[in-house]
Structure 1
């Protein structure tokens, strides 16, 4: 029987409490042994509830030799610094998205992971959704014929509806987040399209806007609450990515891919998470059994990659192209110009 992986949580906010920690606790191959947060009481509360130790400093946590791996769930601006510090301390790292807030930091993170020989995974859970993995396989089989266009949307009512910060979450603070909906939601869809199409983005035209989110003083927040981009891939396939914090009705998290033989609809129908509708009228509908335990699959993938010492589709090196396209999107939004990329 393999030895359990001893894990610590760095940053004990909502994403740690609602996603990382429950999946670690449900995984029989894991012992959660430590927590750190700049708000010590938050770390102490988790330690008291679930066991383990609340560290008073990040350095103390990283110096503990029993800890094998960490989840980095801090604010966007701190992702790179904390992940690099953990890698240099000999820890395997699962880092929340976006990987970092600058292209140079992303490259540096991958470089340090290679130098230390430690795992560095980025939490792009959309790659592991069953409908997306099935879609990937069908696309490789050429079910849609020659691929032409796509449209994908990720929108909800904003992080203030679930973040520990309530109506004024850190996501709204440009110093901590650097950007808004495009960093929070847009990166998921940019990365998903790279994964599904097995191709790299060559050009982007994007716009960002702050339309409705306000800070406590009544002023519009300093980051975008909506973003839209047009992306062209190396194969010539092109389409739109929309990210929004102002979808005040039901959340939307859908993707449509159009080919010469039909259309693939992903997470667009509540009954069938994946549908392929051919131009001759034939339908292929896919369903998966529902589970009482909601799992992204990311934690299991992280732990297995450590225990089996194997690569994974969540490796940071595979996410670099998504981050390059994200930063190109921001440049396009600033300049109003189409931005061409040289794939990483």
Structure 2
């Protein structure tokens, strides 16, 4: 068994509750280094898992015992740290959004090519069974031609679980660049590309900042999307769902409808045009209310498995770039009051 030594860069809520918690459940992973500018956060993890602690990520990257790193930092640092890690000879798992500009994402992709290492982006939605089965249904023609879709990701906002609450970087444009769209919308952009197996070619965006008076980033958005095959749909991202979280997707096709994470009892429902109904419960998806590993996101497991088998990671940088481009197009649409058309 190939052991992989992992370093964590960023020991806030995502780093601790998702990355560290899930790495500890993987047999061939050893957590050997923790880094955070608030050194006490790194030291708290060292007390549990051992290893070394760093305040400066460059010092962690100089640690020859580290094979791979998770980048769990504010959005504006994703590209800088990922590029430095790749140049230092480390594999990288970067939190979403991959980057905040097309230029920096291009530089991340080039750094990966030059390094001979792998860069994966943490899009967990495509890895859960409900969405993988849905992709298979569509690829196999069980829905026929896809006509329309809607996908939603909304909750009350990250202040309830972020280590810094309302003072979190999530709400500061200079560090986050984007709010609910970068946090939630990019997940759904990635998901629709994955499930439908085609690209989004036209984007219209309606984006607002109404729900979080203490913030200077977006907290609500509705996007209108058109695919290569002329399917049309909506994508909603919100930090104003101050009740039950909504992470649902509905796909309408010639031969039936798929309801995904849209029912409290059955996470997968297919209703055919002939009246046949298939209901399954595959376990759903991890939420911010889940503690530790009660529902795995599967991201860390997929990352480590690919490295151990020397296979390509399942969410490549080239792929993740396209999902961020949809979000950037939505912002441009909102700013210009125009539909943004891809090349």
* Alignment TM-score, normalising by the size of structure 2: 0.96
Pair 1:317-2:318 in alignment: yes
2:280 is aligned, of 271, 286, 297, to: 286
Does the aligned pair in 2 maintain the 1:325–1:341 contact within 8 Å?
no
CA distance in structure 2 between the partners assigned to 1:324 and 1:163 by the alignment: 26
Give the alignment of 1:97-176 within 5 angstroms.
Answer: 97-176=96-175
* 1:214-272 deviation digits (Å, cap 9, x = unpaired): 21xxxxx2111101100111111110000000000100000000001111000001211
2: CA distance between counterparts of 1:312 and 1:131?
A: 20
| Aligned counterpart, 1:333 | 334
Tell me the residue number matched to 1:251.
245
Instruction: Report the secondary structure of 1:157's partner residue.
Output: coil
1:218 paired residue number: none
1: CA distance, partners of 2:283 / 2:245? 21
Moved over 6 A (4+): none
Distance 1:251 1:293, change over 3 A: closer
Q: In the alignment, is the contact (CA less than 8 A) between 2:152 and 2:247 conserved in 1?
A: yes
Moved more, 299-308 or 54-63: 54-63
Q: Secondary structure at the match of 2:165?
A: coil
Q: Which residue of 1 aligns with 2:23?
A: 24
> 8 Å contact 2:78–2:94 — kept in the other structure?
yes
- 1:61-82 deviation digits (Å, cap 9, x = unpaired): 1011110000000000110000
Within the alignment, does 1:276 sit opposite 2:270 as a pair?
A: yes
3-state SS of the aligned residue for 1:150? Answer: strand
Gaps of at least 5 residues in structure 2 are 287-292
Structure 1's unaligned 5+ residue stretches are: 216-220
Work out whether 1:262 is the aligned partner of 2:256.
yes
TM (norm. structure 1) is: 0.95
* Matched residue, 2:208: 209
Secondary structure in 1 matching 2:11: coil
Give the RMSD, CA atoms, in angstroms. Answer: 1.3
